């Protein structure tokens, strides 16, 4: 499978714990995006990278959230001191070139904070 | 704030009925418009997109959408739905070649 892969598929954690998710984009794609989706809502933009540079961050991304893409390939999204409100599906997508190119989405990581 | 509105949260149709799902966006300069679909248990995938030119865009599986600039709308249509079209449909807008904003989605249920 040469699509976007995300790991893990599901994560259950206790409030206050730190969690880290990984996204492997399609290999030749230079743009990588993180979105968050809650039940009954569309994906909400969190941040995106052009190669290893993080170009934009949403106001939704509080100080507890950090994303990296150190070598311009895979990316990690870390949430520190998780809260129940962080429970959501975290989606990763990648694209080739500018915004006109379609996004290829991964299957997401479902986070449940107890 | 730039936003995307999908007015229908859940649409239920019988097979062979015609479909139209509404999408409106707030003004924000140059826009690129998309419809994404998420079939049960699958990830989001692109249905169709509009960048410029003919405002009537044809996508996969018989879907089409019309960009009406004066109404800030990009409604999705299909003349005759099938049971396999049961899915969630998301309208998305990219403003000024920046990040893509999604609507809340419309769940379509097609009864056989």
Please tell me if residue A32 touches chain B, with a CB cutoff of 8 Å: no
Whether the pLDDT of residue A59 is over 80: the answer is no
Contact A42 B94 (CB under 8 A): no
Residue B46: its chain A contacts at CB < 8 A?
102-103
Number of Cβ pairs closer than 8 Å across A and B? 59
Number of alpha carbons in the 13 Å side-chain half-sphere of residue A9 = 4
Q: What residue in B sits closest to A104 (Cα-Cα)? A: B45
* C-alpha separations of A78 from A21, A68, A102, B13, B21 in Å: 6, 9, 26, 41, 36
Contact A56 B43 (CB under 8 A): no
pLDDT tens per residue, range B1-27: 678 999 889 999 999 999 999 999 987
pLDDT tens per residue, range A14-56: 999 999 999 999 998 999 999 999 988 899 989 989 999 998 8
Mean pLDDT confidence for A93-100: 77
pLDDT tens per residue, range B74-112: 999 999 999 999 999 999 998 765 678 899 999 999 998
Kindly report the nearest CA distance between residue A16 and chain B, in angstroms: 29
Cβ neighbour number for residue A11 with a 10 Å cutoff: 19
């Amino acid at each position: 499978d040469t699509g976007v892969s995300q790991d893990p598929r599901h994560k259950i954690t206790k409030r206050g714990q730190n969690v880290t998710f990984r996204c492997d984009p399609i290999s030749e794609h230079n743009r990588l995006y993180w979105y968050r989706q809650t039940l009954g809502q569309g994906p909400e933009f969190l941040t995106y990278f052009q190669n290893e540079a993080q170009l934009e961050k949403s106001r939704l991304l509080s100080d507890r959230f950090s994303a990296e893409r150190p070598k311009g390939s895979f990316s990690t999204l870390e949430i520190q001191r998780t809260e129940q409100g962080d429970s959501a599906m975290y989606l990763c997508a990648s694209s080739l070139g500018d915004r006109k190119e379609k996004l290829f989405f991964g299957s997401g990581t479902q986070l449940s904070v107890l | 704030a730039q936003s995307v509105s999908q007015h229908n949260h859940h649409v239920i149709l019988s097979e062979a009925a015609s479909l139209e799902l509404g999408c409106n966006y707030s003004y924000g300069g140059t826009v690129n418009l998309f419809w994404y679909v998420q079939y049960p248990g699958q990830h989001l995938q692109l249905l169709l997109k509009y960048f410029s030119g003919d405002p009537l865009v044809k996508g996969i599986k018989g879907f089409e959408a019309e960009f009406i600039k004066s109404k800030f709308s990009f409604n999705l249509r299909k003349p005759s739905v099938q049971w396999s079209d049961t899915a969630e449909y998301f309208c998305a807008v990219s403003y000024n070649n920046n990040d893509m904003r999604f609507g809340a989605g419309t769940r379509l249920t097609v009864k056989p």
